[in-house]
Structure 1
Amino acid sequence: MSVATQLGLGDPESHVLAMARSRWPGWVSAHPVLGVVEDLLELPAWLRQADRDDADMVLLTLAELSSPEGGDDVAATGALAWVLLPGVSLLASRMFTLSPRIDQMLAAALWMEARTFRWQRGHRVAANVLMNARKAVMRDLGVGAAADPTWARTIPVAPTERIWEAMPAEPSESAETPETSAQQELAELLDWASAGGVITDEDRSLLVDVAQTADRQRTVRSGRGHAGLLGNDVSAEVAGRRGVAAITVRRHTSRAIQALRDAVGATTAQVPA
């Protein structure tokens, strides 16, 4: 069962979407930024070709209408969740091995994030809603960096158990090496960025290729401030595999890295001090 089906959003004539469509003219009247389309059903196509900032303003307005601190309208929650379904469906396809209930878990997390997004000072709505939904599911499953690093590896043992007598004086090191942790964090970052539209799937593939090549070559510096990812040897090797010029690899890599920096910076800016 898909995420859309779990949320009851698989059919444009479903109750929630029908209610959102009927309220769309009123929303447009109160929030002219939504006037980019006449019907809610036209919104996904508009979002795909819209300027990123313009699209974000539309999604932010839906988040405001959805929030209990804004319009408190569950129809807007449904509309926001509906337009974000392509991203969360991509997450589901990449996380399906984690749980047979992954669609159900992502559906619940998506609805919660769409309902409670902090629109007052938020932006990058799609990327942040999807990132937070993914983190919530990973945390619930006790998987990855989103899980509590202590309790995820804790086994309750009664004080009377004799195992305490055999405990070493120094705590043992985590089974997860720094290298494994870094790889996992990179994969999570790229999954989030790809699902949220920060980078394309092609960008993701290129960044993985470049990172693996740089690691294999043990490139440390490139003179460009990108930890060796834009090194000449790295670009040449990747370009040879992909049948393009090395400068093309560097240009696309640099653009994708900058998009990630901007998105992560925007996300960090939302966290209160």
Structure 2
Amino acid sequence: MSVATHLGLADPNSEVLTLAGQRWSRWQMSHEELLVVDELADLPAWLQAADWDEADRVLLALAQLSAPDGGDDVAATAALAWVLLPGASLLAFRLGRLSRRIDEILAAQLWVEARTFPWQRGHKVAANILMNTRKGVMRDLGIGALGDRTIPFPPSAQVWTEAAYGVLPAGPTAEEELLDILELAMSAGALSDDDGELLLGLAHAADLASPARSGRGHAGLMAPAASETLAADRGVSARTIRRRAARSVSVLRTVCGAHQRVSA
């Protein structure tokens, strides 16, 4: 089961999302930030194209409507969790090695964070909710707050032998770095869930094909062998795969550049 299924949000016509859609116009009357779209169903697409600050104001309005000390409306909680599902799904993928129940655990934590976000002093709603969701999942699994790459090792694990001889742990893998970038872009609404999955699939196919890589290019993502493999799986042309991948890579460059400027 997916995070969306555990939350009852896999179907846009589910009872709770239908209720949220019905209340959308009423919410707009008290929160003009929500006037950006006429229907709740149009919000995910708007968030994907919106400026970060504008998107954050919309999410903050939903957080206020959701919170017990705000609107205390669980339909708003569902709406907020729903638009954050792409980032939550990617987070579940990253943490999947930690528990077979990761989707269930993460769904429960996401609901709690969407329901209790401190809207009075809140900002960067998507990033903070997803970050706090990750921390809560790690805490529930008894792993602590050392970061999402920390996993418990049994006493016999090779890592202890390496540590005893002063072998330094390797840095993040290419897969982990890609997942970090995708999580950043998807949580900000800059990249869709499907585009993220396409890039992951293409990266996997490129790794299996081991294409020659040179220059600054696309690290083998545009290699014919990789795009043709993914195209066959998806039932589209390799050219379509490469076009979508190139557009997504361009988005990732923009997101990473903006993130580095903010972090500097």
- Asked if these proteins are the same fold (TM beyond 0.5), I'd say yes
Instruction: State the one-letter code of the partner of 1:98.
Output: L
Residue 119 of structure 2 corresponds to 119
Q: State the Cα distance separating 1:174 from its structure 2 match.
A: 7.9
CA RMSD of aligned residues (A): 4.0
Distance 2:7 2:79 in 1: 11
Contact 1:67 1:117 in 2 (8 A): yes
Q: State the Cα distance separating 1:48 from its structure 2 match.
A: 1.4
Q: 1:105 to 1:121 in 2, by over 3 A?
A: same
Q: 1:14 to 1:254 in 2, by over 3 A?
A: closer
Q: 1:188 to 1:138 in 2, by over 3 A?
A: farther
Q: Note if 1:238 corresponds to 2:244.
A: no
Residue 146 of structure 2 corresponds to 145
Moved more, 121-130 or 27-36: 121-130
Question: For 2:69, what is the secondary structure of its paired residue?
Answer: coil
Deviations 1:32-61 (A, max 9, x none): 110111211111111111222111110110
Instruction: State the one-letter code of the partner of 2:87.
Output: G
Instruction: State the one-letter code of the partner of 1:196.
Output: S
Show the 5 A alignment for 1:141-180: 141=141, 142=143, 145-146=146-147, 179-180=169-170
Residue 188 of structure 2 corresponds to 197
Show the 5 A alignment for 1:1-273: 1-141=1-141, 142=143, 145-146=146-147, 179-180=169-170, 183=172, 190=181, 192-197=183-188, 237-239=215-217, 256-261=255-260
Question: For 1:119, what is the secondary structure of its paired residue?
Answer: coil
Q: State the Cα distance separating 1:12 from its structure 2 match.
A: 2.3
Larger Cα-atom Rg: 1
Contact 1:124 1:263 in 2 (8 A): no
Moved more, 120-129 or 27-36: 120-129
Deviations 1:204-244 (A, max 9, x none): 99xxxxxxxxxxxxxxxxxxxxxxxxxxxxxx84349569x
Contact 1:199 1:256 in 2 (8 A): yes
Deviations 1:169-207 (A, max 9, x none): xxxx68996644x538967854642442387669x99xx
TM-score, normalized by length of structure 2?
A: 0.64
Q: State the Cα distance separating 1:143 from its structure 2 match.
A: 7.1
Q: Percent identity?
A: 48
Distance 1:135 1:97 in 2: 16
Contact 2:88 2:130 in 1 (8 A): yes
Q: State the Cα distance separating 1:112 from its structure 2 match.
A: 1.0
TM-score, normalized by length of structure 1?
A: 0.62
Contact 1:113 1:129 in 2 (8 A): yes
Gaps of 5+ in 2: 156-162, 201-213, 223-249
Contact 1:9 1:17 in 2 (8 A): yes
Contact 1:12 1:18 in 2 (8 A): yes
Distance 2:31 2:5 in 1: 29
Moved more, 131-140 or 24-33: 131-140
Distance 1:193 1:13 in 2: 28
Contact 1:8 1:14 in 2 (8 A): yes
Distance 2:102 2:94 in 1: 10
Distance 1:19 1:240 in 2: 44
Distance 1:34 1:254 in 2: 29
